Amino acid sequence: MKPLRLALLPYPVPVERPDGVPAFATKLDRLLDEARVGGADLAVLPEYACVELGASLCRAAPPTEAAELAAMVEAAPVILASMREAARRAGLWLVPGSLAMRDPDGLIRNRAPLIAPDGRVAFQDKQAMTRFESERWGVSAGAPPSVFETPWGRIGISICYDVEFPLHVRAQVEAGAWLILAPSCTDTLHGFNRVRLTAAARAVENQCFVAVTPTVGEAPWSAALDVNRGQAAVFGPVDRDFPEDGVIAEGALDEPRWLFTDLDPKRIEAVREDGAVRNHLGWLGTVPPAPVARFA
């Protein structure tokens, strides 16, 4: 099995309001073409990247948080279809961020798709809600963690706030995940650094790779997606044959540029078996393994 060429994009929030889903699809094609040229196997965009569409899809003037969310939820099937088509055209595995989607129970969940190059899709919900999501947007906690079968083995997605909770990631690791993707959307460096520091902690305590990438830029025309801070980074075990600070790769702060890195699951197998420490095996307590998500 060859190493995974991972591409992380701190998603560039546009300076001006986008025109709609077709314009978003064109932008996505351009960005994924850059990832493909860089040799990516799997491209990851941040949580809520497509929320830039809310202001243009809603009818409120000026747009409100509630109106933007309602418009995004209504357009979610069309947005998801555009994401699946973009993955097909690029021939890449793709996490296109996350979408606000309404379930049959009437509740709205924050849901991250993992799209295969043939357009098949499986999902990971966000389980832990931030105060903004629960108190102002009315987004509800979603399904528990799962893992995804890929050509590089099992991986997990732990959306933004979820990565701050050890048991969420541990359930994915117990199910065989060697890589955790943590797409995020944070409007302050306090928020981003909570994600960054806890992602690094998850990498240490599970002896795995954890990758984060945020939205970046300012959108004064959007009530929800106003200010965005952070940087792309990949963290790993702090052990032999890994960087002394655990930073595998790191982009510049607030810079909307693809970060590419090659990750080999065999390195994780080796350090778990014969590292200087055995955090992965020494976990205190029992966490049930996450189920495997189904692609459709």
Q: Domains along the chain?
A: 4-274 (3.60.110.10)
Position 15 pLDDT exceeds 90: no
The pLDDT tens digits for 95-145 are 999 999 999 999 999 999 999 999 999 999 999 999 999 999 999 999 999
Q: Is the backbone of residue 279 left (phi > 0), alpha (psi -120 to 50) or beta?
A: alpha
Asked if residue 275 lies in contact with residue 207, where contact means CB atoms within 8 angstroms, the answer is yes
Overall pTM surpassing 0.95 (yes/no):
yes
C-alpha to C-alpha distance for 100 and 76, rounded to whole angstroms: 7
pLDDT at position 16 over 90: no
Measured distance CA(288)–CA(70) in Å, rounded: 35
Distance, CA of 91 to chain centre: 19
Kindly indicate the confidence band of residue 261, based on its pLDDT and cuts at 50, 70 and 90: very high
Q: In the chain, which residue ranges form alpha helices assigned H by DSSP? A: 21-37, 54-57, 65-90, 131, 166-174, 189-206, 265-274
Query: How far is CA 288 from each of CA 61, 137, 146, rounded to the nearest angstrom?
Result: 48, 31, 11
Whether 4 and 42 have beta carbons less than 8 Å apart is answered as: yes
Average confidence (pLDDT) over 255-262: 97
pLDDT tens across 23-68, in order?
A: 999 999 999 999 999 999 999 999 999 999 988 898 777 889 999 9
Angle formed by the axes of helices 21-37 and 65-90, to 10°?
40
Which of 73, 95, 75 is closest to 84 using CA atoms? 95
Per-residue pLDDT reduced to its tens digit, 185-201: 999 999 999 999 999 99
Q: What is the pLDDT of residues 137-189, one digit of tens each?
A: 999 999 999 999 999 999 999 999 999 999 999 999 999 999 999 999 999 99
